[in-house]
């Protein structure tokens, strides 16, 4: 399968990167074996593997050959390439795609390298770091396009700027969010901004078990703990491994929070509204219609003004024996809600296969006061 095509399937794909060191972080995994890692990443669900072939990263073309001999998934060769002859050698060594850095290449040379890659049946991943480079990549017809959160001059990471650029990329191109992704929530943020894939290197190379870390980043469903009102409950949800923290701001809710509380980088905050919404400083918003003085049944999850998922809930203070079957029949990203707890969430996941699960009332000692043991049990049940 071609590199681009491997990333174009529904859901978030992952490119696992093999690099022994980084100019910004120093040694990461000096003894890394590219063959063993490529094989493990393939088993863990990677859509492709990136191999650093530049000596500044303690890499070489031989690493590419070793990875090719061990795994069948597409391989991206990463380096600082300027000559068509370099691309030909990479192709012979097993590459399916090559990286082209717009920071180091003018449009004419980029176009010539893209043409050389096409002739060699290589995909060219054209990488942008700012809005001007993204505009250039689009004008050059690049597909896939990489958006790097790391400024290669200062090595600083700006995830917010990266997400804004991902959201600006044309929807008909495969877009890859690169660098700065260390948690499942950060990967989900890139997905919701419009990324088809994430490229992860340092976080994997630092992990005791790189393949397990890769699986963690792309594992679904996500876990949302909603109805949070206290910092200590947010801390327990984060420690337990929840990905989304929900803060209900609707005036009629007994679980109403005064405001959106701070969350760690391993979580995304979600402000929950009924009827009307305002800027609450959250990463995402969840909006229900108001019906007869209370929330409607279902909601929409929003990134800015863009709908990114459907929240499928039970009717207000009612049950529905067909709720899970109804949810399973819906297309797109589904956030499943409605009296979920540690006892029933596994069966719900098996039936619905949702993108995320959302629990609130079943994890409480009282409205807005969470039971820490039940939060931990709920997350453990989802992950088991």
Res. 320: pLDDT tops 70 = yes
213 labelled catalytic: no
For the stretch 114-117, contacts whose Cβ atoms lie closer than 8 Å and that sit 24 or more positions apart, written own/partner, are: 114/140, 114/141, 114/142, 116/84, 116/87, 116/88, 117/87
Q: Which residue in the list 22, 50, 93, 179 is annotated as catalytic?
A: 179
The tens digit of pLDDT for each residue in 188-200 reads 999 999 999 999 9
Between 10 and 233, whose confidence is greater?
233
Indicate the pTM of the whole model: 0.94
Q: Which residue in the list 19, 91, 213, 224 is annotated as catalytic?
A: 19
Res. 275: pLDDT tops 90 = yes
* Per-residue pLDDT at 1: 83
Alpha-carbon torsion angle 59, 60, 66, 72, nearest 10: 80
Can you tell me the mean pLDDT for 27-53?
95
Task: Report the alpha-carbon distance of residue 43 to residue 71 in Å, rounded.
Answer: 9
The CA-to-CA distance between both ends of the chain, in Å, stands at 32
* Residue whose structure tokens are 């809930």: 313
The tens digit of pLDDT for each residue in 200-234 reads 999 999 999 999 999 999 999 999 999 999 999 99
370 labelled catalytic: no
Res. 55: pLDDT tops 90 = no
- Nearest Cα neighbor of 224 from 40, 379, 35, 53 is 379
The tens digit of pLDDT for each residue in 342-371 reads 999 999 999 999 999 999 999 999 999 999
Mean pLDDT estimate for the chain: 95
The tens digit of pLDDT for each residue in 120-144 reads 999 999 999 999 999 999 999 999 9
318 labelled catalytic: no
* Per-residue pLDDT at 27: 87
| Percentage of the chain lying above the pLDDT 90 cut | 89
Least-confidence region, from 17-31, 171-185, 265-279, 336-350: 17-31
Task: Check residue 261 and report its DSSP letter.
Answer: P
Task: Report the alpha-carbon distance of residue 8 to residue 85 in Å, rounded.
Answer: 29
Q: Which residue in the list 127, 182, 191, 364 is annotated as catalytic?
A: 127
Q: Which residue in the list 93, 148, 183, 282 is annotated as catalytic?
A: 148
Can you tell me the mean pLDDT for 176-197?
95
CATH class of 3-218: alpha beta
Res. 45: pLDDT tops 90 = yes
Q: Which residue in the list 86, 133, 178, 182 is annotated as catalytic?
A: 178
Residue 177, Cβ neighbours under 10 Å: how many?
Answer: 30
86 labelled catalytic: no
Res. 58: pLDDT tops 90 = no
Residue 245, Cβ neighbours under 10 Å: how many?
Answer: 25
Encode 80-102: b = buried (16+ Cβ within 10 Å), e = exposed: ebeeeebbeebbebbbbbbbbbb
Alpha-carbon torsion angle 20, 152, 265, 185, nearest 10: -70
What's the distance, CA 168 to chain centroid? 17
| Fold match flag (3-218 vs 222-383) | yes
Q: Which residue in the list 22, 40, 42, 78 is annotated as catalytic?
A: 78
Res. 149: pLDDT tops 90 = no
Dmax (CA) of the chain: 70
- Tell me the sheet residues that pair with 224: 244, 358
Res. 152: pLDDT tops 70 = no
Q: What are the extents of the domains in the chain?
A: 3-218, 222-383
CATH number given to 222-383:
3.20.20.70
Can you tell me the mean pLDDT for 97-123?
97
* Per-residue pLDDT at 153: 67
pLDDT class for 73, splitting at 50, 70, 90? Answer: very high
- By three-state DSSP, how is residue 277 classified? coil
Task: Report the alpha-carbon distance of residue 308 to residue 332 in Å, rounded.
Answer: 9
17 labelled catalytic: yes
Tokens of 2: 């071609």
Burial class (CB in 10 A: 0-12, 13-18, 19+), 367: middle
- By three-state DSSP, how is residue 296 classified? strand
Tokens of 141: 């017809």
């Amino acid at each position: 399968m071609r590199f681009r095509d491997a990333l174009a399937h529904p859901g978030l794909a992952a490119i696992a990167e093999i690099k022994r060191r980084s100019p910004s972080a120093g040694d990461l995994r000096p003894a890394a074996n590219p063959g063993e890692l490529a094989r493990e990443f393939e088993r863990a669900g990677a859509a492709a593997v990136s191999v650093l072939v530049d000596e500044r990263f303690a890499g070489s073309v031989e690493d590419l050959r070793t990875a090719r001999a061990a795994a069948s998934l597409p391989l991206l060769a990463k380096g600082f390439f300027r000559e068509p002859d370099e691309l030909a050698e990479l192709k012979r060594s097993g590459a399916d795609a090559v990286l082209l850095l717009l920071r180091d290449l003018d449009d004419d040379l980029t176009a010539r390298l893209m043409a050389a890659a096409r002739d060699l049946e290589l995909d060219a991943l054209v990488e942008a770091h700012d809005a001007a480079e993204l505009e250039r990549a689009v004008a050059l017809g690049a597909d896939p396009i990489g958006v790097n959160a790391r400024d290669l001059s200062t090595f600083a990471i700006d995830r917010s700027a990266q997400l804004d650029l991902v959201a600006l990329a044309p929807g008909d191109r495969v877009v890859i969010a690169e660098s700065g992704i260390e948690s499942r929530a950060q990967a989900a943020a890139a997905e919701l901004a419009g990324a088809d894939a994430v490229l992860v290197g340092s976080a994997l190379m630092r992990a005791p078990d790189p393949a397990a870390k890769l699986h963690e980043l792309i594992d679904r469903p996500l876990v949302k703990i909603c109805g949070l009102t206290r910092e200590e409950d947010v801390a327990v949800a984060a420690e337990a491994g929840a990905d989304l923290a929900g803060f209900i701001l609707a005036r009629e809710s007994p679980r109403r929070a005064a405001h959106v509380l701070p969350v760690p980088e391993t979580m995304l905050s979600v402000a929950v509204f009924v009827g009307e919404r305002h800027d609450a400083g959250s990463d995402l918003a969840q909006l229900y219609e108001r019906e007869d003085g209370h929330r409607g049944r279902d909601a929409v999850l929003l990134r800015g003004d863009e709908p990114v998922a459907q929240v499928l809930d039970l009717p207000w203070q009612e049950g529905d024996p067909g709720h899970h079957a109804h949810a399973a029949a819906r297309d797109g990203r589904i956030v499943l809600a409605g009296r979920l707890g540690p006892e029933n969430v596994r069966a719900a996941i098996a039936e619905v296969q949702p993108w995320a699960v959302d629990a609130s009332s079943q994890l409480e000692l009282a409205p807005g006061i969470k039971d820490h043991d039940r939060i931990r049990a709920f997350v453990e049940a989802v992950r088991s």
